[in-house]
């Protein structure tokens, strides 16, 4: 009789646990990232007595586990990293592309054309003071647009630096969470053998981490759960984690980034930049855009500004000022009469666009704008025409491109990269949606299925209760028989 009570009790507890788990599944049907749980039970071990084994001693709960596919989960993490990489690339490249938007006809190409056209007009009227003023004003507009482009590209790089700093802080917070979950899971599984909800929370943290870079997870020979960044190294090992840090580095450590820009390190090893090692995710997108596309554009714009100023100056220095002078003297009361630069002569290609400016003599006096190749020749227009012809001179890309062609190639390249990133993002979104749907089919909660299980476990609970009731009635009958 006691065996019957034990059997009924074990069935009652098993049904109760199954009902609790099913109810937990139903209550979390709309919880994002929740993995449905199942109770696994088996028959109790037979009892050994003198005459052999006693079979039929009831049931026992082995464990409660998650309906979870590790391969699908890892695929989901990789798809998240890919989607975030292309999303960030499309956003950042779109911002860069907007710098060169010339829909309103006020971009660099337009003001350069106006500058050369004004020199061409000055060649037709070399003595006209109003046209000289137009030439100088157009030159100022060219300078301003070079400054604008250089500053906005630098601002984009600075914006990425700030984003990197924020992302690294967020990453460190997630790493601390994962290490905390590892410790709590270990405790929970020692005490109760169950940690399904904690594992769900850890998986959610891993998915959040995958937004920043490609994540690799594994359990080592000691059973510790480890999290690593692909190509970088282990970030979490059991309950221990190592944090990342950002800092400004000199050029000899900066790799492909510019001197003084932010790089990423392990906090414990601040002398070794690791930013270029991350795969996919936001970090890789930010660093790639800053160190490749934006840096390449800055170099190309600087190259255009450098050659533009050099070429104009080389011709302008050969001319003579537009005022009566004594050709035997190199200077007069107003200053030099020849070898005058139109722009401040750039010393190097780097930052040429940022530092471009008019020569101080051109700022001071319009007569210092040279149009004549000979002194005291007010009708001479050879210098002005020579400068205007620079518009069609091929002195870029091994003398295969004009200034306009070089500029248009540069902005066309960024437009192509931006368009490609948008298409890649659309494809990555589609793949991510497929993987999320696959995970939902495997691990998601089906209300219909859980409702069916609820009825099944309720019947099992009722039946186990009847076993107990029957055992109790039989026991009372037996006692009453001996009481007589």
Give domain status of residue 223, yes or no: yes
Give the pLDDT of residue 11: 83
Give the pLDDT of residue 471: 75
Q: Which residues contact 344 (CB under 8 A, 6 or more apart)?
A: 309, 355, 356, 357, 358, 359, 360
Give domain status of residue 148, yes or no: yes
Rg (CA), the chain: 38
Give domain status of residue 312, yes or no: yes
Give domain status of residue 336, yes or no: no
User: Strand 262-266 and strand 244-248: pairing?
Assistant: antiparallel
For residue 163, what pLDDT band results from cuts at 50, 70 and 90? very high
Give the pLDDT of residue 1: 47
| Mean pLDDT of all residues in 276-304 | 92
Question: For 406, left (φ over 0), alpha (ψ -120 to 50), or beta?
Answer: alpha
Give the pLDDT of residue 9: 82
212 and 309 assigned to the same domain: yes
76-122 pLDDT tens trace: 999 999 999 999 999 999 999 888 876 555 688 889 999 999 999 99
40 φ/ψ angles, rounded to the nearest 5 degrees: -110, 125
Give the pLDDT of residue 251: 55
Domains of the chain: total: 2
367: which DSSP letter?
Answer: G
Give the pLDDT of residue 271: 80
255 vs 429, which has greater pLDDT? 429
Give domain status of residue 339, yes or no: no
Alpha helices in 54-107 (DSSP H): 70-99
438 and 448 assigned to the same domain: no
181-238 pLDDT tens trace: 999 888 887 777 778 888 989 999 999 999 999 999 888 877 789 999 988 889 999 8
Give the pLDDT of residue 53: 58
83 vs 412, which has greater pLDDT? 83
In contact, 225 and 238? CB cutoff 8 Å: yes
235-255 pLDDT tens trace: 999 889 999 998 887 655 444
Q: Distance (Å, rounded) from C-alpha 115 to C-alpha 400?
A: 22
Give the pLDDT of residue 238: 86
- What is the maximal distance between C-alpha atoms in the chain? 150
182 and 42 assigned to the same domain: no
119 and 214 assigned to the same domain: yes
16 and 119 assigned to the same domain: no
153 and 17 assigned to the same domain: no
Domain that holds residue 449: 2-65+444-483
450-467 pLDDT tens trace: 889 888 988 888 888 887
Give domain status of residue 466, yes or no: yes
| Mean pLDDT of all residues in 114-140 | 94
pLDDT at residue 272 tops 60? yes
253-257, 258-262, 348-352, 374-378: least confident range: 253-257
Q: Report residue 133 as tokens.
A: 């003023």
117 vs 394, which has greater pLDDT? 117
pLDDT at residue 291 tops 80? yes
Percent of the chain having pLDDT more than 90?
48
What is the residue-averaged pLDDT of the chain?
Answer: 87
pTM reported for the whole predicted model: 0.84
In contact, 35 and 66? CB cutoff 8 Å: yes
* Number of residues assigned to the chain: 484
**Strand residue runs (E) in 339-424:** 394-396, 401-402
114 and 196 assigned to the same domain: yes
Give domain status of residue 290, yes or no: yes
8 vs 406, which has greater pLDDT? 406
Give the pLDDT of residue 35: 87
92 and 208 assigned to the same domain: yes
427 and 451 assigned to the same domain: no
50-64, 119-133, 316-330: least confident range: 50-64
51 and 87 assigned to the same domain: no
283-286-287-288 Cα dihedral, nearest 10 degrees: 110
Q: Which residues contact 67 (CB under 8 A, 6 or more apart)?
A: 35, 36, 37, 38, 442, 443
Q: Report residue 395 as tokens.
A: 């002195």
Q: Report residue 48 as tokens.
A: 């050994």
60 and 85 assigned to the same domain: no
163 and 308 assigned to the same domain: yes
């Amino acid at each position: 009789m006691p065996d019957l009570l034990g059997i009924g009790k074990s069935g009652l507890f098993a049904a109760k646990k199954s009902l609790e788990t099913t109810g937990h599944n139903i209550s979390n049907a709309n919880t994002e990232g929740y993995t449905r749980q199942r109770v696994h039970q088996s028959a109790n071990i037979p009892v050994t007595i003198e005459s052999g084994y006693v079979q039929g001693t009831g049931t026992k709960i082995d464990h409660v586990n998650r309906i979870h596919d590790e391969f699908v989960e890892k695929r989901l993490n990789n798809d998240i990293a890919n989607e975030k990489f292309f999303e960030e690339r499309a956003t950042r490249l779109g911002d860069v592309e907007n710098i060169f938007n010339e829909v309103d006809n006020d971009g660099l190409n337009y003001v350069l054309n106006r500058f050369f056209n004004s020199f061409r007009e000055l060649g037709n009227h070399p003595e006209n003071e109003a046209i000289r003023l137009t030439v100088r004003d157009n030159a100022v507009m060219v300078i301003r647009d070079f400054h604008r482009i250089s500053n906005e590209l630098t601002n984009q790089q600075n914006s990425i630096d700030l984003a990197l700093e924020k992302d690294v802080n967020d990453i460190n917070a997630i790493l601390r969470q994962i290490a905390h979950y590892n410790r709590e899971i270990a405790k929970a599984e020692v005490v109760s053998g169950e940690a399904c909800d904690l594992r769900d929370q850890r998986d959610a943290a891993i998915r959040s981490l995958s937004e920043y870079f490609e994540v690799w997870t594994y359990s080592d020979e000691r059973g510790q759960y480890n999290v690593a960044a692909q190509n970088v190294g282990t970030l979490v090992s059991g309950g221990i984690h190592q944090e990342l840090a950002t800092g400004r580095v000199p050029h000899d450590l900066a790799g492909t980034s510019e001197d003084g820009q932010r790089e990423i390190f392990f906090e414990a090893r601040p002398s070794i930049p690791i930013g270029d090692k991350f795969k996919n995710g936001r970090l890789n997108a930010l660093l790639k855009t800053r160190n490749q596309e934006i840096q390449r554009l800055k170099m190309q714009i600087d190259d255009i500004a450098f050659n533009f100023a050099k070429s104009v100056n080389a011709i302008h220095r050969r001319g003579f000022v537009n005022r009566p002078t004594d050709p035997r003297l190199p200077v007069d009361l107003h200053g030099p009469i020849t070898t005058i630069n139109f722009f401040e002569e750039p010393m190097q290609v780097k930052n040429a666009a940022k530092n471009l400016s008019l020569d101080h003599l051109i700022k001071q006096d319009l007569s210092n704008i040279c149009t004549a190749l000979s002194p005291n020749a007010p009708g001479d227009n050879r210098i002005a025409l020579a400068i205007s012809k620079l518009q069609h001179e091929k002195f870029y890309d091994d003398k295969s491109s004009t200034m306009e062609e070089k500029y248009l190639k540069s902005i066309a390249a960024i437009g192509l990269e931006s368009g490609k990133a948008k298409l890649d993002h659309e494809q990555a979104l589609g793949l991510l949606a497929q993987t999320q749907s696959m995970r939902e089919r495997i691990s998601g909660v089906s209300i219909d299925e859980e409702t069916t299980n609820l009825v099944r476990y309720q019947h099992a609970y009722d039946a186990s209760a009847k076993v107990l009731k029957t055992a109790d009635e039989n026991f009372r009958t037996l006692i009453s028989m001996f009481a007589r």
